[in-house]
């Protein structure tokens, strides 16, 4: 089938918007930031990815508004104000805590503590990292790109940051490489679905 997106993203016979189920799997951007007052925000974003390797840069998309308001999300305002954030790898083992941090709570609530997660200090940025996460990327904010708004006026934003520090747990390193089986990353699919790591195989590029 074919349909034009201008007419909507839920054509027959689909029950729900189909777009999020088309680009899969997606890494989860579990982003910790800190307000100027020192309150920790932690939230997962399914529109997240690495952008470049040298210098290493990442992006995440704090789209829409805070629930029940027309205010920007804390993961956007905190980072634009302080210039810092941290990417925390979400693993299969941390899936329930990650889901807890997707709840809508007041900006005055420490979402890391609320989810029962222990915080660990970073080296180069003020926001803490999730101690139980095997990989964390300390980032300096570079810019926000404002994409076209949704049909109902909700804003779409791309936050880009440069990675300035990297934490890797010793127990996920095997023979000088990152052992992805030991990391056991969680991936986002469409609807309310997620996936964990399955078969891993190696392919080499043609000469």
Pairing of the two strands 119-120 and 48-53:
unpaired
- Section 117-142 average pLDDT: 98
Q: For residue 7, what pLDDT is reported?
A: 85
Whether the pLDDT of residue 170 is over 90: the answer is: yes
- Section 11-31 average pLDDT: 94
Q: For residue 118, what pLDDT is reported?
A: 98
Identify the CA nearest to 86 among candidates 179, 167, 192, 21: 167
Q: For residue 67, what pLDDT is reported?
A: 86
- Decide if 119 contacts 129 (C-beta within 8 A): yes
Q: For residue 29, what pLDDT is reported?
A: 96
Whether the pLDDT of residue 21 is over 90: the answer is: yes
- What is the C-alpha separation between 7 and 44, in angstroms, rounded? 29
* Span between the terminal Cα atoms of the chain, in Å: 38
pLDDT digits (tens, 9 = 90+) for 49-80: 999 999 999 999 999 998 888 889 999 999 99
Q: Is the whole-model pTM more than 0.85?
A: yes
Residue with tokens 């056991």: 184
Whether the pLDDT of residue 207 is over 90: the answer is: no
Q: Buried b vs exposed e over 179-202: b needs ≥16 C-beta within 10 Å?
A: eeeebbbbbbebeeebeeeeeeee
Other residues' Cβ atoms within 10 Å of the Cβ of residue 60: 28
């Amino acid at each position: 089938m074919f349909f034009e997106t201008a007419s909507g993203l839920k054509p027959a016979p689909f029950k729900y918007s189909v777009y999020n189920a088309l680009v899969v799997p997606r890494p989860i951007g579990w982003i910790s930031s800190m307000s100027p007052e020192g309150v920790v925000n932690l939230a997962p974003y399914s529109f997240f990815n690495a952008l470049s390797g040298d210098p290493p840069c990442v992006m995440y998309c704090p789209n829409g508004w805070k629930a029940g308001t027309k205010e920007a999300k804390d993961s956007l305002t905190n980072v634009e104000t302080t210039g810092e954030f941290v990417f925390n790898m979400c693993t299969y083992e941390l899936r329930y805590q990650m889901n807890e941090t997707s709840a809508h709570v007041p900006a005055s609530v420490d979402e890391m503590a609320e989810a029962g997660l222990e915080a660990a200090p970073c080296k180069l940025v003020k926001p803490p990292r999730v101690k139980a996460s095997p990989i964390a990327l300390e980032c300096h904010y570079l810019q926000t790109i404002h994409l076209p708004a949704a049909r109902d006026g909700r804003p779409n934003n791309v936050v880009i940051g440069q990675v300035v520090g990297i934490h890797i747990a010793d127990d996920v390193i095997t023979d000088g490489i990152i052992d992805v089986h030991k990391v056991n990353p969680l991936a986002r699919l469409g609807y309310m679905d997620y996936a964990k790591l399955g078969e891993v195989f190696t392919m080499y590029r043609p000469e």
